[in-house]
Structure 1
Amino acid sequence: MINLLRIKIFSVLALLLLVSQASWATHIRAGEIIAQRISTSTLTYRFSVIGYTDTGSTVIFGSGNIDFGDGVSVNLGENAESNQTILLEDEVAYNIFTIIHTFQGPGRYVIRYDEQNRNAGVVNMSNSVDTPFYIETEMLIDPLFGINNTPVFLVPPVDKGAVGATFLHNPGAYDPDGDSLSYHMTIPQQFIDRNVNDYKDPNDPGFYTNYLEGNQEGDGPPIFKIDSINGDLVWDAPGLMGEYNIAFIVKEWRILEGKAYSLGYVTRDMQIIIEETENNPPEIVQPMELCVEAGTLITETLVATDPDGDPVIFEAFGGPFEMTINPATYEPSPPVSQPVPANLQFTWQTDCAHVRERPYEIQLKAKDQPPIGAKLVDFKTWLIRVVAPAPTGLTATKLSGRRVELNWDKYTCGNADKIEIWRRVDSFDFTAEDCVVGMPANAGYELIDLVNNSTLAGEQITNYIDDNEGMGLAPGALYCYRIVAKFPDPAGGESYASDEACAQIDVVAPVVLNVDVVATDKVAGQIYVRWEEPFDLDPVLFPGPYTYDVVRFEGLSGQINGDTISLKQTALDITDTGLDTDSKPYHYLVYVYDNSGSYIDSSFPASSVWLDALSDVKTITLSWEALVPWSNVMDSLPYHRVYRDNVDEFFPDDLYLIDSAKVTESGFRYVDDGSHNGVELNDEIIYRYYVETKGSYGNPVFKPYDPLLNKSQILSAQPNDTIPPCGVVNFRFDDTFDCSVFLSTRGCDFNDYSNLLEWEENGDSQCDNDISSYNIYFSDEDIDGELPLLENVQGTQFLHDGLSSFKGCYQITSVDRSGNESERSERICHDNCPFIKMPNAFTPNGDGKNDFFTPFYNQIGGGTEGGGTGIPGFNNADCPRFVLEVTFTVFDRTGGTLFTYNSADQIENIGEEGNAILINWDGKSDNGTQLESGVYYYSLEVIYDLLNPKDQKKKYKGWVNILR
């Protein structure tokens, strides 16, 4: 963890003078607030309030108040844990006060500090000497993100600039947790949400005699900006001497699962002093970005020069110098004035602890030492990325049951938390290097699992069994694997991919070789399916000859509602006819039987190739996919063929081979802009395409069949298509569904709901029907505005599953291949069927049977009246359904209240909202008195889970007989 009291500041004489805070009188030039979490069990932080002050003033820094954003505000000087002052050069002192504070709970807090006064004479605000100095830091405390510290600034804001010369500054922001940072200009403030009076940007035209020639080169207006990525603050160039105050914030972002979350920001309010001088700033020779594998020793000589030949002080700041393990160093240290060219010798022994996703930023700073006049600086940012070595020793061993066992060596970097398991069919050769970590895109590998690098006891895990999620691997395929180590967030990082290991699966089931679209049509489409027999079967146990059933399914995957298109055939191929190959892909399974008709096994599912297109001006981008057991990405056959019509002017309807897509580089994608023959596409023409894929199992037995050639459907697409497609018709829920009937066969604890949506394409020939997909919009509330997008789907059915209830409203649109979207359909809504039923008697006598008054309920099925737990005969139709809240009141015969219960008040104690509505009254009054046997009256107010809030509340009255 960074020591926030440590800061690298060296004067021209390399002299640091440490004095007590009371010894120096100050006015404030710059400052920031830094936070460091110092406890893992409590929300305790050490805050460092840092002020850069004018040593020529008699005002003492630290007299202001710090507000922690949780209602606690204290005087900084009176409550500080420690304070110190370091005298710098040029009448600037560095002051740091530390104070400890514990927050009572998670939240987003803004920590504020204000103090009188800024120093006098600031030219870009009014009356600076009477203007308070105000800074703030925001930080998020959230268990989701774990322990978090704010960024720290390693470079002090003490440099001067010259009129007419570009001024540079970089705060050297470093995040000890490895979070991402971004930089943004803001306006200095004097109070909360109140800017200083009459603030002007430093490049305001009022500061220039010739604004249009105000930059250093004199060929354009001045600029004043901060680089949002690396934090370089650039003012090109100052126009008027004087003292300027500016402010910027450094935002902190944590990246989790590819999404950036804001953790807060730190504000630096700083002063820039501009002088008249003939001096020219020094120049640092920009070093090349480095990428090294953890364990590499980095030794680099960095160079700075000066156009005037003045000596230079050359120093470096950045995260590598702050490491607790093997920190980087540089010489000379402390930095001294060197004749030019000045050298800085950088050394860093990298380690696994240094691995992270983002490169380290090292701020190089050179300050010249002229005999007279302002000392000017140059900044350069040097990037060093430390990546993890590849896992070693990977082996793959075939197991029974179409499984493969992987084993590998203990991973070198014990701080990696996960191992990615990657798989593909057939070998693919590449060398992991040049900082390309993880699995390269378009290599054809699929991430199949993510496993822990070690057990809870700390023992490293070095094996994995791939059974393809219980489905088994594809017969006949050569499966090849690589593994990649992943490092924990927030720093993250990945290793190079391991060497490849492969294992061959026995051919103990039919092996599909082709799913080839031979005719594209709405109703007369055809697909050719071919397979090979399971020749590795034991002929004694499974005597031939074999027969086959072929089953077809719609879509690329999912074995639902299959159609058997052939029974017990002996041939090894079939042409499937009467298909809608224009609108949908299909996939197939082949089942094999021995000579007695006994079932043996089935093939792995294999789909047809589905082609899609996206249109732009004079451009059509094709993309395709197929879910098949072989590989369509091969080193030896990297090209897929692309066919198109409108090639031959005499035969415009014929489709010709126009080009090939190198899928090992571009993936399953091809951009047709006419460059293959130098004839650009015509926006008025509808073009037709198909692609032909090339694949292989990587199995020498099947080499005679290689390459496995399969065509997609023929697809029509028009460049620059802006016409939306037809909307759908007959958008509806499943017509056969009845909520009450469905739930009558489910237990009271059932909570896995789904809605099946169905629709039809619009057959109107007057509208454009080039539909490629559908957008489903959904809200579980009947909101007034537009429903939010839920999912983009293909086909004319959608099962919305994993729901907590049935209620919700839907709309649907058609989307064409150019991304045009139809108008939304009418909204259709599905509601819950709420229910609650109360018994009319119970026996609170302590015998464990029917002791509590509760709605009819059974946790495990069976039961009779009341709340039994497994008594045979319970009717699930009596279960309480979609009940959010109950209020239950018992009265005596005169109307006096005996007992009250509200489930909303009980959830915290019970822990489960569903259980709170069961009431479980034990027959006692509110004061604990046991009620006598007899009849009592009750009222029951129920809030149901329904779309319309007006329908949610129902009131019931009834009676109950207590039997003892």
Structure 2
Amino acid sequence: MKMYKFIALVVISCCTLNLEATHNRAGEISFIQLSDFSIQATITTYTKASSTAADRDSLIINWGDGSSSTVLRSNGSGELLSNNTKRNYYIATHNYPGRSTYKISVMDPNRVDNILNIDPPNSVNIPFYIQTTVSLLNLQFQSPNRSVQLLQAPIDFACVGVVFQHNPAAYDADGDSLSFEFSVPLMDNNLPVPNYIFPNQINPGINNAIMLDSQKGTFTWASPQKAGEYNIAFIIHEYRKGVRIASTIRDMQIFVRQDCSKNTPPVITSAFDTCIVAGTILELPITVTDPDTLSLGSKIKIEVSGAPFFTSPTMVLMALTSYTTSPINAKLTWVTDCSLVRKEFYTLVIKATDNILDSTGISSLHTLRIKVVGPAPENLQSEADSKSIKIKWNHPYACTHFPDYFKGFSVWRKEGSSNIPLDTCNPGLQASSYKQIAYLVNNFDGMNYHYQDSTIVEGKFYCYRVQAEFATTSQSGFPINFVSSLHSNETCNSLPLNIPVLLNVDVTQTDSLLGEISVRWTKPSPIEFDTIKFKAPYKTSIYFKTKNNQWEKILNSEHSYNSYSSIIDTIFHHTRLNTAHLQYSYYVELLSTPLNEHFSDSADMIFLSTQGSDRSLTLNWNAVTPWTNYKYDIFLFNNNTLVFDSIASTNLNTFTIQKLTNELEYCVYIKGYGAYGVSRFEKPLINHSNISCATAIDNIPPCCPKLMVSDPCDDELQTPGLELKNKLSWTFPDICKADDAIGYKIYAYYNKQQKLIQTIENVQTQTYEHFLLDSIPECYLVTTYDLAGNECINVDSVCIEYCPIYNLPNTFTPNSDGHNDLFKPFPYRFIDKVEFKVFNRWGNLVFQTENPDILWDGKSSSGSRLSDGTYYYTCLVYYSGLLVHSNPTNQLNGFIELRSGQK
């Protein structure tokens, strides 16, 4: 913060050289990505037209890669607007060294004077700074990055006591999603203007509030309380597939006037957000009235802006655009086609202004969003053969004639029927229970589009829907920026049932040796099984396997039949199994003459595993079956009644039983409910899992505390080393409870090695003082532990930035009077050693030591007494341990006056 203040003073002082250079009102930077590494940037500024001395025919643009350019104004001497304002464009291109994210910025020395909410009354001395952040995209796989276009000028007018609204009419040609947020105006990179206050803080109160709609970008001020000029700033973020790819800061100015307080803004009546199907004609009636027409004789005019006026086909306004008498009845017409389909809304801003003031009037805004969605494919039908289901739908599709955008169809499937109403504002099946099975389908048989689904099984009822897919194309031909149409009608069908069908794989006994599973199946449908083609005699067999093993025939499961009618639905009990630890799978084989094989789909038993934890049991189970398991009941053995109780139901394959008692064993099983979705088969199909047991154990560590360390750096130093200590204290976050903790363990790090230095067995104690008698620790951490020995994990260590102190005197008197006889440092701390050397006036070394206490008695290293005089010393100081310092040593140099009375 101190650095920011210093920079601000420097920048401001540089700008006070020309107090007449009042200049900038508003602006922003936009860009277009031209290639992988090049962009074209446009700087748009709005300046005070009468400030000719500060007029800029060029600006310096910083590209964010360490380079800058001087950019000439591209629209001559600028475009004069009303209210002493001029609009200026500066356009330049730049090549970057590589793909990255760059911050493009411009700083101009002066804003206009008398801005009420920027360092009043010194706003003229505050630099004007705007920036835009751009991420260069890989154009092989993505479309170029184009910044948001702000179609409404950043100069607007408000009235004291009247609600004010402004919308920038933001438009992103790439269809990227936009969001808006407030920002403080800047004077340099990451440097806010000084003494900025938001407009609602000038004469604050309940009638003075501001708001920014984060989706539409509408700024509302209800309402201004003081006349004058204000500046606000906001950031527009652009996102593509949830990733931010650009951010633009707009700095804008609002003129608040006092002489319109008795004027009432016009009233706009029109539609709100709407969604339409491409190919339809959108007609939006607009009515504008002015309550002041009779009392003040004012007239009104209507203006519209926004994305629909920059598309093709373009929106058309049918109304007079000049001032006219209230009311105005207008109409917006948009003849849409498939090229307008996109995921994001188009924003439209309707503005009505009266002429009650001299150069402008009071305005009202009405902002609405319009989404254009792709039409649904029509007349979806299905037909089944022996192995697949064929779906077909009408050709041509409504958007077939837009091949650069319409890419094909996606096919979606589910088991069973679902009623999904069309929602023109939320197209697509992505959030439904349907699953996509094919993408970008364009198969055409001369009459219809079609798709053949062969990834299906007998006995299930399949339902389908189709939707169109749109996408732009990258420079290398890759489809990007996908968006889906409305979905088609639903069609459902199933395969002819000419195979046996499994109905149950039910665990009836759990044991590691004597486990049992009941397997039930039914023969093929007599209507769909061709007994002329597949003749008697018939033979049935059941096969089984465990995980990672081969299929085996169950020898005693074979049965022979002389006619189809004599085949009976069978329940087979498979015995002597390890159902406690293994999962078993089954299928049924039907043999007909001449040697035709008909196999059922395989089905697994529900295999349950349990894991004990702290006062809980976690259950996980799985089973791959041709039917759909839609619900599971969970049964827990009651040790009091000695029966299993139903305790919960779920449609998931996992569940946690809570509030158990540790060290007790609990046994559970799962009861599954399934169905084929075909009326021929009963519902539900009930199958049980194995019984699984586990013990609830305390294996969850207590919550970790948050550690704070107070080091001795701020303490007054008295006696070296003895009083040095680090004070540790810790607390628990609000969301954390350490109910079962019984104590703490304190660790210190020495040379990056962790060492336990203390165990505290009282959980109420939350402080500790560590005296630094020997070595110096770099970091600390404190953990909790419980009765089971669980110790908390993921605890953050706290490292200490020590403050070594080592200072030397400049004189001593070694005359054996008991006072100041030894040259030694003042009290010091955190010093490991020194390289202390003393030189006489001729540069000869006379004394040296590595003892940080030095204790020089005025004699040379050979023991002879030195004469009085001035000596030069050097002292290389080594800090203790691995202290948190960029430099572990410090070099001291100086002079020593030796005064012993010896000549």
TM-score, structure 2 length as denominator? 0.61
Q: Specify every segment of 5 or more residues in structure 2 that has no aligned partner in the other structure, as ranges.
A: 1-20, 473-479, 560-568, 611-616, 703-739, 741-752, 755-789, 795-903
Matched, 1:403 2:400: no
Q: Any idea what SS the aligned residue of 2:107 has?
A: strand
User: Aligned pair in 2 of structure 1 residues 390, 553: CA closer, same or farther (>3 Å)?
Assistant: farther
Query: 1: CA distance between counterparts of 2:579 and 2:351?
Result: 65
Tell me by how many angstroms 1:621 deviates: 14
CA contact (8 A) 2:82 2:359 kept: no
- 1:591 shift after superposition: 3.8
> Counterpart of 1:136 in structure 2: which amino acid?
Q
Aligned to 2:587: 589
Give the 3 Å change call, closer, same or farther, for CA 301–75 of structure 1 in structure 2.
same
Q: What are the superposed Cα offsets for residues 518-560 of structure 1, whole Å, 9 maximum, x if unpaired? A: 6789998865432223462666666442222232556xxxxx4
Following TM superposition, by how much is the alpha carbon of 1:431 offset from its aligned partner in structure 2, in angstroms? Answer: 4.8
Q: Tell me the residue number matched to 1:332.
A: 319
Offset from partner CA, 1:311-349 (integer Å, 9 cap, x none) = 44333322222112x111223253645514x44411111
Q: Is the 8 A contact 1:190 1:196 kept in 2?
A: yes
Q: Which residue of 1 aligns with 2:273?
A: 289
Q: Residue 263 in 1 paired to residue 257 in 2?
A: no
Distance 1:434 1:427 in 2: 21
1:158 is matched with which residue?
155
Residue type of the partner of 1:193? Answer: N
Per-residue Cα deviation, 1:265-292 (whole angstroms, up to 9, x for no partner): 1110111222334234444446332222
- Give runs of aligned pairs for residues 692-841 of structure 1, distance below 5 A: 693=673, 695-698=675-678, 703-711=679-687, 713=689
In the TM superposition, 1:564-643 aligns within 5 A as 564=552, 566-567=554-555, 568-570=557-559, 572-575=570-573, 588-594=586-592, 600-607=597-604, 627-630=624-627
- The alpha carbon displacement at 1:249 in A equals 1.3
Asked if 1:57 corresponds to 2:37, the answer is no
Quote the residue 2:897 is aligned against.
none
Q: Which residue of the other structure, out of 526, 538, 543, is the alignment partner of 1:550?
A: 543
- Does 2:346 align with 1:360? yes
Deviation track 1:582-605 (CA, whole Å, cap 9, x = no partner) reads 999865433444589x68243223
What does 1:207-218 correspond to in 2, within 5 Å?
207-208=202-203, 211=204, 214-216=205-207
Aligned-residue offset at 1:53: 2.0
Give the secondary structure class of the aligned counterpart of 2:406.
coil
**Match in the other structure for 1:112:** 105
After superposition, the C-alpha distances for 1:447-492 in whole angstroms (9 at most, x for unaligned) are 222235489xxx9994433232xxxx31244433221222226653
Report deviation, 1:50. Answer: 1.0
Check if 1:446 corresponds to 2:435.
Answer: yes
CA pair 84-283 structure 1, distance change in 2 beyond 3 A: farther
> What corresponds to 2:284 in structure 1?
300
Alignment of 1:171-190 (within 5 A): 171-190=168-187
Residue 510 of structure 1: aligned partner: 500
1:26 touches 1:60 (CA, 8 Å); kept in 2? no
Asked if the contact 1:160–1:272 (Cα under 8 Å) also holds between the matched residues in 2, the reply is yes
What is aligned with 1:98? 91
Between stretches 276-285 and 49-58, larger displacement belongs to 276-285
What letter is aligned with 2:153? P
Counterpart secondary structure, 1:125: coil
Q: Following superposition of structure 1 onto structure 2, how do residues 438-517 of structure 1 map, counting pairs within 5 Å?
A: 438-439=428-429, 441=431, 443=433, 445-453=434-442, 462-468=449-455, 473-488=456-471, 491-516=481-506
Residue 46 (structure 1) aligns with: 40
> Which residue pairs with 1:170 in the alignment?
167
Contact 2:287 2:330 in 1 (8 A): yes
Distance 1:495 1:282, change over 3 A: same
Q: Distance in 2 between matches of 1:715 and 1:305?
A: 76
Deviation (angstroms), 1:440 = 7.2
**8 Å contact 1:183–1:231 — kept in the other structure?**
yes
AA of the residue aligned to 1:548: S
SS in structure 1 at match of 2:375? coil
Distance 2:197 2:61 in 1: 27
Task: Report the Cα distance in structure 1 between the residues aligned to 2:155 and 2:332, rounded to whole angstroms.
Answer: 24
Question: For residues 606 and 295 of structure 1, what CA distance do their matches in structure 2 show?
Answer: 49
SS at match of 2:309: helix
Aligned length: 645
1:574 and 1:335 map into 2 onto residues whose CA distance is: 89
- Flag the 1:271–1:641 CA change in 2: closer, same or farther, 3 A: same
Q: Is the 8 A contact 1:133 1:190 kept in 2?
A: yes
| Higher strand residue share | 2
Cross-structure match for 1:27: 23
- Whole-Å Cα distance in 1 between the matches of residues 185 and 216 of structure 2? 21
The amino acid of 1:561's aligned partner reads: N
In structure 1, stretches of 5+ residues that fail to align are 1-24, 217-221, 555-559, 614-619, 634-639, 662-667, 673-680, 728-767, 769-783, 786-820, 826-964
Q: Tell me the secondary structure at the aligned position of residue 152 of structure 2.
A: coil
Cα offset for 1:174? 1.0
Contact 2:36/2:99 (<8 A) preserved: no
Equivalent-residue separation in structure 2 for 1:186 and 1:460 (angstroms): 58
After superposition, where does 1:404-419 map in structure 2 within 5 Å? 404-408=389-393, 409-414=395-400, 415-419=405-409
Aligned twin of 1:247 = 233
Equivalent residue of 1:129, what SS?
helix
- The answer as to whether partners of 2:22 and 2:111 remain within 8 angstroms in 1 is no
Bigger Rg over Cα: 2
SS in 1 for 2:349: strand
Report the identity percentage: 28
Contact (CA 8 Å) 1:425, 1:629: kept in 2 or not? no
What does 1:417-432 correspond to in 2, within 5 Å?
417-428=407-418, 430-432=420-422
The DSSP-based 3-state class of the residue aligned with 1:64 is: strand
Segment of structure 1 superposing worse, 47-56 or 291-300: 47-56
- Pairwise CA distance, 1:51: 1.2
In structure 1, give the amino acid aligned to 2:26.
A
Q: Tell me the secondary structure at the aligned position of residue 321 of structure 1.
A: helix
Q: Which amino acid aligns with 1:47?
A: A
Scaled by the length of structure 1, the TM-score of the pair is: 0.57
Displacement after TM superposition at 1:263 (Å): 0.9
CA distance in structure 2 between the aligned counterparts of 1:642 and 1:542, rounded to whole angstroms: 43
* Cα 1:193–1:630 shift into 2, 3 Å: same
Deviations 1:783-809 (A, max 9, x none): x99xxxxxxxxxxxxxxxxxxxxxxxx
Q: Distance in 2 between matches of 1:551 and 1:510?
A: 15
Question: Cα distance 1:709–1:454, how it changes in 2: closer, same or farther (>3 A)?
Answer: closer
Q: Say whether the 8 Å CA contact 2:38–2:93 is kept in structure 1.
A: yes
How far apart are the structure 1 equivalents of 2:190 and 2:275?
Answer: 43
Asked if residue 382 in structure 1 is aligned to residue 368 in structure 2, the reply is yes
Give, as a single letter, the amino acid of the residue that structure 1 aligns with 2:497.
V
1:322 aligns with 2:318: no
CA shift for structure 1 position 89: 2.9
Report the alpha carbon displacement of residue 247 of structure 1 after superposing the two structures with TM. 1.5
* Partners of 1:121 and 1:546 in 2: CA distance: 99
Contact 1:546 1:595 in 2 (8 A): no
Is the alpha carbon distance of 1:225 and 1:530 closer, same or farther for their aligned partners in structure 2, counting shifts above 3 Å?
A: same
Structure 2 residue matching 1:203: 3-state secondary structure: helix
- AA matched with 2:28: E
What root-mean-square deviation, in Å, do the aligned CA atoms of Structure 1 and Structure 2 show? Answer: 4.9
Q: Deviations over 1:153-176 (max 9, x none)?
A: 011122122334443222111110
Distance 1:488 1:311, change over 3 A: same
Q: Note the C-alpha offset of 1:30.
A: 0.5
